Amino acid sequence: MFRLSGVTKRYPGGEGLGPVDLDVPAGRTLCVIGPSGSGKSTLLRLLLGLVRADRGSVRFEGREVPGEDVLALRRRMGYVVQGGGLFPHLTAQGNAALLARHLGWDEARLGERLADLCALVRLPPETLSRHPRQLSGGQAQRVSLMRALVLDPAVLLLDEPLGALDPVTRHELRGDLREAFRRLQKTVVVVTHDLAEAVALGDRLLILRDGRVAQQGAPGEVLASPADEFVARFVGAWRDSLPGAGGEA
């Protein structure tokens, strides 16, 4: 679905990404993990064409990103920014429906689509009339997800979808996300700093360190045989946080 070859992106101050070579296979969920500043969000922005690589190429469905028609490209991707990024001046419904309305969907088609999405993300439909400031953190994340999914994009890109939530909501939403990804059968890229989340949600893990790929592979693979000291420490820290620390994965 995505293919990155020799991609480098640097910001003033030295942070950034690359060089990175990466294949994101279609229909799978890739979790990108790493400490802050490791280039996770930069990777998402490169996939979206929100920033351009300094060197190397990003391809989506075989075509160069961002390419000629950047609007069409972005409509093939659903993106949820860290914190959800709901527009406070619109209701939940106004947020979710914004793009479809702009493209001239009639209300019947839109209503049907929103009802389906509410079911998918497990949001009570009556919540849709509220404004973002009247929503709980979990509800806001679900609405953001609806907004990203309204055009049924080919891929879903989520930046820390469980970031600022309380533990109970976090646990609930994690289960619902996993279920939604399973039903959608889409290519999903989730950025997180939490290995537990990544293991729960991802078919594959990509561990970043200082803008370079430290290791990638299936979760079991990564946990069983960390590629280097850094990954081992990452995995170790996670194991220590588990109940009955020191047990087998």
Partner 1 sequence: MESPSPDGGGAGSAASAAGSPVAPRVVVGSKKFTESVILGEMAAQLARAGGARAEHRRELGGTRILWEAVLRGDLDVYPEYTGTLRREILAGEPAEGEALGRALAARGLSMSAGLGFENTYAVGMRRDRAQALGIRSLSDLSRHPGLRLGFSHEFMDREDGWPALRRTYDLPQRPRGLDHDLAYRAVASGNLDATDLYSTDPEIRAFGLAVLADDRRAFPEYQAVLVFRSDLAARAPEALASMRRLEGRISAAAMLEQNARAQLDHVPEARVAADFLGRELEVRSEARAEGRAARVLGRTLEHLGLVGLSLAAAVLLGVPLGIAAFRRPRLGHLLLGAAGVVQTIPSLALLVGLIPLLGIGARPALFALFLYSLLPIVRNAESGLSGIAPELRESALALGLPPWARLWLVELPLASPSILAGVQTAAVIGVGTATLGALVGAGGYGQPILAGIRLADPALILEGAVPAAALALAVQGGFGLLGRALVPKGLRLPPPRE
- Please give the residue ranges that form the binding site for partner 1 (CB under 8 A): 48, 50, 70-75, 77, 79, 81-83, 85-91, 98-99, 102, 131-135, 147
* Min CB(220)–partner 1 separation in Å: 33
Count of beta carbons in the 10 Å neighbourhood of residue 56: 17
SS3 call for 132: helix
Q: How far apart are CA 91 and CA 73, in angstroms?
A: 26
In the complex with partner 1, which residue's Cβ is closer, 161 or 226?
A: 161
* Min CB(175)–partner 1 separation in Å: 23
Please give the distance of CA 93 from its chain centroid, rounded to a whole number.
21
In the complex with partner 1, which residue's Cβ is closer, 134 or 225?
A: 134
* Min CB(229)–partner 1 separation in Å: 34
In the complex with partner 1, which residue's Cβ is closer, 135 or 180?
A: 135
Structure tokens at 90: 């619109």
In the complex with partner 1, which residue's Cβ is closer, 151 or 200?
A: 151
* Min CB(117)–partner 1 separation in Å: 15
182 burial type by CB count under 10 A (0-12 exposed, 13-18 middle, 19+ buried):
exposed
Helix H or strand E segment including 59: strand 55-60
Q: Tell me the HSE value of 185 on the side-chain side, using a 13 A CA sphere.
A: 1
* Min CB(43)–partner 1 separation in Å: 14
In the complex with partner 1, which residue's Cβ is closer, 38 or 139?
A: 139
